[in-house]
Structure 1
Amino acid sequence: MKSDSATRAGQTDKGFSPQLISAVNGVFEVLAVGYGNQYHAAYPNAEQSNLAKRLWAKHLSHYPVNLLMKVADDIIGKETFLPSIAKFKSHCDHAYDAFGLPSVDSAYVEACRAPQPKKQFKWSHPAVYFAGLTTDWFFLSSEPKDKVFPVFKRNYEMLCDRVIKGEKLDVPIEKALPAEITTPMTREENKQHLHQLREKLKL
């Protein structure tokens, strides 16, 4: 599958983004190196490989392009045989693990069970926090799963796509309030405090 045209006269890769075409070409290059003879037996010439690339692009078009190369690199270390489209798609569906992302079901349970304050909870991944925040914490805790889960799932998958594309998500740190209000020390008091601290630390 060339970036500008298909191998058959009169046909083009119309409908496929340049990013997807590049990703599928990259996937096939990885598979060719990883599976050698198996790959060349399945795709003995350019026409066969281009037809296959078009078919794969059609079935993989709804996955983030950044994910495809990650899966290709991962799959050659796990699968003995050249993967079919179905096998490759299955790996794509479970590839969130490679980015430290829990499954949508695990993320949903985590978001529902996380105690307040949410910002201070140790999240498995920031995407879970932001999915809960976007879905609305009260909505998560007060409505039945069959109503809440589809909304959470959509939000979480959108955030996962952003992570896969390289975006870094950070849970904002909630500043703790001081236990008591204190008046500022004078310059002399500061010097005395510093002296005592140095003596204590033997500096």
Structure 2
Amino acid sequence: MASHKNPGNQVTSAQGTHRSGTSSQTQTGDPELDARKRALNEVFGLLKLSYHNQFNAAFPDVQTLNHAKRLWLESLSGFTPEQMVAGAKRAIRQCEYLPTVHKMLQLCAEGENGLPEPRAAYREACNAPSPKANFKWSHPAVYHAGRAADWFFLANNPESSAYPVFAAHYKKICERLMAGDKLPAPEQVQLEHQQGQPLSKSENAKKLAELRARLKI
């Protein structure tokens, strides 16, 4: 039986009643699946409240919304209901725009390894005081990405130039973590850049070009 619109974004079918908000969907007889469906409803409810205009633009009708729910339910099958809801709350804190399925996969995974969103990681790396190794990092990946990008470079270049370099390193490190690699905690080293004479514009430009060439960005 075809679905149709009615008040409250409710969707009816031969199997029962579905809502696009936080109410529960039709019971399947599978407690685990039912719990994940309830969690997904909560996720969409939170996202709708937080990204109202973007949400309505992305899911303009019940059919589109239900298709999206099925896709998200399948895509997020590797996470528990608690991780799904936590991912949505993390999106609200970190993301300016309505997250895509791909972004939600990252946000849900953050609950397992504590990886912050790239822009937040960049700001943490730039604002951390020296010595960097002594700072209480939200995750070692932020420290290692900052170190790979070069602390002095990050401190002496505008965000428009420095962020892409940092983000490229951070992405590679996160991918390694997602693949199962382990990162060591920051070690007390004597390799941090000390206060010195700022680089000239030509030196900065040369260093940036070398980094971009190495990272292929």
TM-score category (smaller protein):
0.3 to 0.5
Higher relative contact order (CA 8 A, sep 6+): 1
Return the index of the structure with the highest Cα Rg: 1
Q: TM-score, normalised by structure 2?
A: 0.43
Return the TM-score normalized by structure 1: 0.46
